[in-house]
Amino acid sequence: MTFAKAQEYFLDHCQFEKNLSAKTLEFYAIDLRQFQSFLKNYKSDSQIGKIDKYVLKDYLKYIAHFKPKTVKRKLATLKAFFNFLEFEDIIMVNPFRKLRVKIKEPRRLPNLMSTHEVQKIFKAAYTAKEATTSDGDYLTKLRDIAVLELLFATGIRVSELCDLKDKNINLQNGVITINGKGSKERLIQVCNPGVLRILCEYRRYFEEQIEQSGYFFINRLDRRLSDQSIRRLIRGYTQLAAIDKNITPHTFRHTFATLLLEEDVDIKYIQHFLGHSSIATTQIYTHVNSAKQQQILSTKHPRNGFEFGSCSDSQ
Protein backbone atom coordinates (compact mmCIF):
# COMPACT_ATOMS: atom_id res chain seq x y z
CA MET A 1 0.00 0.00 0.00
CA THR A 2 1.25 3.50 -0.80
CA PHE A 3 1.82 6.09 1.91
CA ALA A 4 -0.90 8.35 0.44
CA LYS A 5 -3.51 5.57 0.63
CA ALA A 6 -2.48 4.60 4.17
CA GLN A 7 -2.73 8.24 5.22
CA GLU A 8 -6.24 8.47 3.79
CA TYR A 9 -7.33 5.35 5.72
CA PHE A 10 -5.82 6.68 8.95
CA LEU A 11 -7.43 10.14 8.75
CA ASP A 12 -10.82 8.58 7.95
CA HIS A 13 -10.40 6.34 11.01
CA CYS A 14 -9.56 9.36 13.20
CA GLN A 15 -12.51 11.38 11.93
CA PHE A 16 -15.32 8.84 11.68
CA GLU A 17 -14.35 6.14 14.17
CA LYS A 18 -12.44 8.02 16.87
CA ASN A 19 -14.37 11.27 16.34
CA LEU A 20 -11.29 13.43 16.97
CA SER A 21 -11.54 17.21 16.92
CA ALA A 22 -11.05 19.22 13.74
CA LYS A 23 -7.91 20.77 15.25
CA THR A 24 -6.34 17.36 15.93
CA LEU A 25 -7.19 16.17 12.42
CA GLU A 26 -5.62 19.30 10.99
CA PHE A 27 -2.35 18.73 12.88
CA TYR A 28 -2.32 15.04 11.91
CA ALA A 29 -2.72 15.97 8.24
CA ILE A 30 0.04 18.60 8.43
CA ASP A 31 2.47 16.23 10.15
CA LEU A 32 1.78 13.35 7.74
CA ARG A 33 2.15 15.60 4.70
CA GLN A 34 5.51 16.73 6.01
CA PHE A 35 6.63 13.14 6.54
CA GLN A 36 5.46 12.26 3.02
CA SER A 37 7.44 15.20 1.63
CA PHE A 38 10.49 13.97 3.52
CA LEU A 39 10.09 10.49 2.03
CA LYS A 40 10.09 11.93 -1.50
CA ASN A 41 13.28 13.91 -0.86
CA TYR A 42 14.74 10.92 0.96
CA LYS A 43 14.02 8.86 -2.14
CA SER A 44 12.44 6.19 0.00
CA ASP A 45 10.05 3.66 -1.46
CA SER A 46 6.50 4.99 -1.30
CA GLN A 47 5.26 1.60 -0.11
CA ILE A 48 4.31 1.91 3.56
CA GLY A 49 5.74 -1.49 4.48
CA LYS A 50 9.25 -0.39 3.46
CA ILE A 51 9.54 2.26 6.18
CA ASP A 52 11.82 1.06 8.97
CA LYS A 53 13.50 2.52 12.06
CA TYR A 54 16.40 3.84 9.99
CA VAL A 55 14.03 6.00 7.93
CA LEU A 56 12.50 7.29 11.16
CA LYS A 57 15.95 8.08 12.59
CA ASP A 58 16.80 10.14 9.53
CA TYR A 59 13.43 11.89 9.77
CA LEU A 60 14.20 12.75 13.39
CA LYS A 61 17.37 14.50 12.20
CA TYR A 62 15.33 16.22 9.48
CA ILE A 63 12.93 17.82 12.01
CA ALA A 64 15.52 18.42 14.76
CA HIS A 65 15.47 22.20 14.13
CA PHE A 66 11.90 22.47 15.44
CA LYS A 67 11.13 23.20 19.07
CA PRO A 68 11.12 20.06 21.28
CA LYS A 69 7.37 20.35 21.81
CA THR A 70 6.78 20.40 18.05
CA VAL A 71 9.09 17.43 17.46
CA LYS A 72 7.23 15.44 20.15
CA ARG A 73 3.91 16.24 18.48
CA LYS A 74 5.14 15.18 15.04
CA LEU A 75 6.51 11.91 16.39
CA ALA A 76 3.28 11.30 18.32
CA THR A 77 1.36 11.69 15.05
CA LEU A 78 3.57 9.11 13.35
CA LYS A 79 3.28 6.72 16.30
CA ALA A 80 -0.51 6.91 16.17
CA PHE A 81 -0.35 6.42 12.39
CA PHE A 82 1.87 3.31 12.51
CA ASN A 83 -0.03 1.87 15.51
CA PHE A 84 -3.19 2.06 13.42
CA LEU A 85 -1.51 0.44 10.41
CA GLU A 86 -0.18 -2.42 12.55
CA PHE A 87 -3.54 -2.96 14.25
CA GLU A 88 -5.26 -3.08 10.85
CA ASP A 89 -2.62 -5.57 9.56
CA ILE A 90 -1.59 -3.13 6.85
CA ILE A 91 2.01 -3.48 8.03
CA MET A 92 3.59 -6.43 9.81
CA VAL A 93 5.62 -4.54 12.42
CA ASN A 94 5.40 -0.97 13.69
CA PRO A 95 8.87 0.57 13.05
CA PHE A 96 8.58 2.51 16.32
CA ARG A 97 8.86 -0.78 18.21
CA LYS A 98 12.57 -0.79 17.43
CA LEU A 99 13.13 2.89 18.12
CA ARG A 100 13.73 4.56 21.46
CA VAL A 101 13.40 8.32 21.45
CA LYS A 102 13.51 10.61 24.46
CA ILE A 103 13.00 14.32 23.89
CA LYS A 104 13.35 16.66 26.83
CA GLU A 105 11.40 19.88 26.88
CA PRO A 106 12.80 22.82 28.85
CA ARG A 107 10.52 23.42 31.82
CA ARG A 108 9.38 27.00 31.68
CA LEU A 109 7.01 28.75 34.02
CA PRO A 110 3.92 30.12 32.28
CA ASN A 111 3.85 33.77 31.28
CA LEU A 112 1.69 35.59 33.82
CA MET A 113 0.06 38.93 34.50
CA SER A 114 -0.18 40.61 37.86
CA THR A 115 -3.60 41.73 39.06
CA HIS A 116 -2.45 45.30 38.37
CA GLU A 117 -1.70 44.42 34.73
CA VAL A 118 -5.07 42.72 34.34
CA GLN A 119 -6.76 45.81 35.71
CA LYS A 120 -4.81 48.04 33.30
CA ILE A 121 -5.93 46.01 30.29
CA PHE A 122 -9.58 46.08 31.36
CA LYS A 123 -9.39 49.79 32.11
CA ALA A 124 -7.92 50.44 28.66
CA ALA A 125 -10.67 48.38 27.01
CA TYR A 126 -13.56 49.98 28.92
CA THR A 127 -12.13 53.48 28.41
CA ALA A 128 -11.81 52.83 24.66
CA LYS A 129 -15.45 51.68 24.53
CA GLU A 130 -16.71 54.81 26.27
CA ALA A 131 -14.63 57.04 23.98
CA THR A 132 -16.07 55.64 20.73
CA THR A 133 -17.78 58.05 18.36
CA SER A 134 -19.59 55.59 16.09
CA ASP A 135 -22.03 52.75 16.66
CA GLY A 136 -19.88 50.30 14.73
CA ASP A 137 -16.79 51.05 16.79
CA TYR A 138 -18.80 50.80 20.00
CA LEU A 139 -20.08 47.34 19.05
CA THR A 140 -16.56 46.14 18.21
CA LYS A 141 -15.25 47.37 21.56
CA LEU A 142 -18.23 45.77 23.32
CA ARG A 143 -17.43 42.41 21.74
CA ASP A 144 -13.73 42.78 22.61
CA ILE A 145 -14.55 43.39 26.27
CA ALA A 146 -16.91 40.40 26.34
CA VAL A 147 -14.04 38.24 25.01
CA LEU A 148 -11.54 39.58 27.58
CA GLU A 149 -13.99 39.21 30.46
CA LEU A 150 -14.85 35.62 29.59
CA LEU A 151 -11.18 34.65 29.15
CA PHE A 152 -10.33 35.94 32.59
CA ALA A 153 -13.55 34.80 34.28
CA THR A 154 -13.24 31.16 33.23
CA GLY A 155 -9.63 30.41 32.17
CA ILE A 156 -11.08 29.02 28.95
CA ARG A 157 -8.77 28.00 26.09
CA VAL A 158 -8.89 30.34 23.10
CA SER A 159 -10.00 27.47 20.84
CA GLU A 160 -12.81 26.64 23.27
CA LEU A 161 -13.92 30.26 23.34
CA CYS A 162 -14.00 30.48 19.54
CA ASP A 163 -16.04 27.27 19.36
CA LEU A 164 -18.62 28.42 21.92
CA LYS A 165 -22.11 28.11 20.49
CA ASP A 166 -24.98 30.32 21.53
CA LYS A 167 -26.69 27.25 22.97
CA ASN A 168 -23.64 26.65 25.23
CA ILE A 169 -24.24 29.84 27.22
CA ASN A 170 -27.08 30.28 29.68
CA LEU A 171 -26.82 33.92 30.72
CA GLN A 172 -29.80 33.67 33.07
CA ASN A 173 -28.05 31.10 35.24
CA GLY A 174 -24.52 32.17 34.32
CA VAL A 175 -23.60 28.61 33.27
CA ILE A 176 -21.28 27.96 30.33
CA THR A 177 -20.92 24.52 28.75
CA ILE A 178 -17.42 24.10 27.34
CA ASN A 179 -16.47 21.38 24.88
CA GLY A 180 -12.81 20.81 25.66
CA LYS A 181 -10.03 18.59 24.35
CA GLY A 182 -11.08 15.08 23.47
CA SER A 183 -14.71 16.24 23.27
CA LYS A 184 -14.83 16.36 27.07
CA GLU A 185 -17.60 18.58 28.35
CA ARG A 186 -17.37 20.71 31.49
CA LEU A 187 -19.58 23.33 33.10
CA ILE A 188 -18.27 26.61 34.50
CA GLN A 189 -20.30 29.14 36.42
CA VAL A 190 -19.83 32.85 35.75
CA CYS A 191 -20.63 34.53 39.06
CA ASN A 192 -19.36 38.09 38.69
CA PRO A 193 -22.27 40.51 37.99
CA GLY A 194 -20.05 42.79 35.90
CA VAL A 195 -19.02 39.93 33.60
CA LEU A 196 -22.61 38.74 33.21
CA ARG A 197 -23.77 42.29 32.51
CA ILE A 198 -21.28 42.79 29.65
CA LEU A 199 -22.09 39.35 28.19
CA CYS A 200 -25.81 40.14 28.27
CA GLU A 201 -25.24 43.53 26.64
CA TYR A 202 -23.13 41.92 23.92
CA ARG A 203 -25.74 39.19 23.36
CA ARG A 204 -28.52 41.78 23.12
CA TYR A 205 -26.78 43.92 20.48
CA PHE A 206 -25.59 40.95 18.39
CA GLU A 207 -28.65 38.74 18.83
CA GLU A 208 -29.59 38.53 15.14
CA GLN A 209 -26.05 37.74 13.95
CA ILE A 210 -25.46 35.23 16.76
CA GLU A 211 -28.67 33.33 16.03
CA GLN A 212 -27.84 33.29 12.33
CA SER A 213 -24.30 31.94 12.78
CA GLY A 214 -24.92 29.77 15.84
CA TYR A 215 -21.63 30.92 17.40
CA PHE A 216 -21.56 33.25 20.39
CA PHE A 217 -18.53 35.32 19.35
CA ILE A 218 -18.61 36.56 15.77
CA ASN A 219 -16.51 38.82 13.56
CA ARG A 220 -17.54 41.75 11.38
CA LEU A 221 -18.60 39.30 8.64
CA ASP A 222 -20.98 37.60 11.11
CA ARG A 223 -18.84 34.46 11.15
CA ARG A 224 -17.10 32.60 13.96
CA LEU A 225 -14.41 34.71 15.61
CA SER A 226 -10.95 33.22 14.95
CA ASP A 227 -8.02 32.52 17.26
CA GLN A 228 -5.92 35.03 15.32
CA SER A 229 -8.52 37.79 15.79
CA ILE A 230 -8.51 37.26 19.55
CA ARG A 231 -4.72 37.34 19.67
CA ARG A 232 -4.72 40.60 17.72
CA LEU A 233 -7.29 42.26 19.96
CA ILE A 234 -5.37 41.26 23.10
CA ARG A 235 -2.16 42.60 21.58
CA GLY A 236 -3.93 45.86 20.80
CA TYR A 237 -5.25 46.39 24.32
CA THR A 238 -1.90 45.37 25.81
CA GLN A 239 -0.27 48.16 23.84
CA LEU A 240 -3.07 50.56 24.74
CA ALA A 241 -2.47 49.76 28.42
CA ALA A 242 1.28 50.44 27.94
CA ILE A 243 2.26 46.96 29.15
CA ASP A 244 5.62 45.82 27.78
CA LYS A 245 4.93 42.09 27.89
CA ASN A 246 3.88 39.40 25.42
CA ILE A 247 0.33 38.69 26.54
CA THR A 248 -1.70 36.02 24.75
CA PRO A 249 -5.04 34.28 25.36
CA HIS A 250 -3.07 31.57 27.17
CA THR A 251 -1.60 34.24 29.47
CA PHE A 252 -5.15 34.94 30.67
CA ARG A 253 -5.58 31.20 31.32
CA HIS A 254 -2.30 30.94 33.25
CA THR A 255 -3.11 34.05 35.25
CA PHE A 256 -6.60 32.79 36.09
CA ALA A 257 -5.17 29.53 37.48
CA THR A 258 -2.26 31.10 39.36
CA LEU A 259 -4.29 33.83 41.04
CA LEU A 260 -6.86 31.27 42.21
CA LEU A 261 -4.08 29.15 43.68
CA GLU A 262 -2.70 32.19 45.47
CA GLU A 263 -6.15 32.59 47.02
CA ASP A 264 -5.77 29.03 48.38
CA VAL A 265 -8.30 27.45 46.02
CA ASP A 266 -7.90 23.65 45.97
CA ILE A 267 -5.94 22.52 42.91
CA LYS A 268 -8.60 19.89 42.13
CA TYR A 269 -11.14 22.64 41.50
CA ILE A 270 -8.67 24.44 39.26
CA GLN A 271 -8.07 21.19 37.39
CA HIS A 272 -11.80 21.07 36.63
CA PHE A 273 -11.98 24.73 35.63
CA LEU A 274 -9.10 24.29 33.18
CA GLY A 275 -10.37 20.97 31.80
CA HIS A 276 -7.16 19.06 32.52
CA SER A 277 -7.54 15.27 32.39
CA SER A 278 -4.54 14.85 34.72
CA ILE A 279 -3.76 16.88 37.83
CA ALA A 280 -0.08 16.62 36.89
CA THR A 281 -0.76 19.12 34.11
CA THR A 282 -2.37 21.53 36.55
CA GLN A 283 0.59 21.33 38.92
CA ILE A 284 2.67 23.60 36.70
CA TYR A 285 0.69 26.42 38.32
CA THR A 286 1.78 25.51 41.83
CA HIS A 287 4.74 27.90 41.65
CA VAL A 288 4.19 31.11 43.60
CA ASN A 289 5.55 34.56 42.94
CA SER A 290 8.04 36.32 45.19
CA ALA A 291 5.42 38.52 46.87
CA LYS A 292 3.35 35.47 47.80
CA GLN A 293 6.48 33.68 49.04
CA GLN A 294 7.32 36.61 51.29
CA GLN A 295 3.78 36.71 52.65
CA ILE A 296 3.77 32.97 53.38
CA LEU A 297 7.20 32.84 55.01
CA SER A 298 6.69 35.99 57.08
CA THR A 299 3.35 34.84 58.48
CA LYS A 300 3.34 31.03 58.34
CA HIS A 301 6.91 29.93 59.05
CA PRO A 302 7.20 28.20 62.49
CA ARG A 303 10.45 30.09 63.24
CA ASN A 304 8.36 33.23 63.69
CA GLY A 305 6.98 31.77 66.92
CA PHE A 306 10.37 31.22 68.58
CA GLU A 307 10.93 33.53 71.56
CA PHE A 308 14.72 33.56 71.55
CA GLY A 309 16.76 35.65 69.14
CA SER A 310 14.08 38.32 68.80
CA CYS A 311 14.90 41.98 68.32
CA SER A 312 13.91 42.75 71.90
CA ASP A 313 16.37 40.10 73.23
CA SER A 314 19.34 41.74 71.52
CA GLN A 315 18.71 45.15 73.03
**Residues involved in catalysis:** 157, 181, 250, 253, 276, 285
Report the distance separating Cα 145 and Cα 235, nearest Å: 13
In this structure, what is the dihedral angle of CA atoms 210, 216, 220, 225, given to the nearest 10 degrees? -150
> How long, in residues, is the chain?
315
Composition of the chain by helix, strand, coil, percent to 5: 65, 5, 30
Give the pairing of strands 175-179 and 185-189.
Answer: antiparallel
Q: Backbone phi, then psi, for 52, in 5-degree steps?
A: -120, -175
Report the distance separating Cα 258 and Cα 302, nearest Å: 25
Q: Backbone phi, then psi, for 167, in 5-degree steps?
A: -70, -15
**Type of residue numbered 282:** T
Report the distance separating Cα 120 and Cα 117, nearest Å: 5
Give the chain's count of helices (H) and strands (E): 14, 3
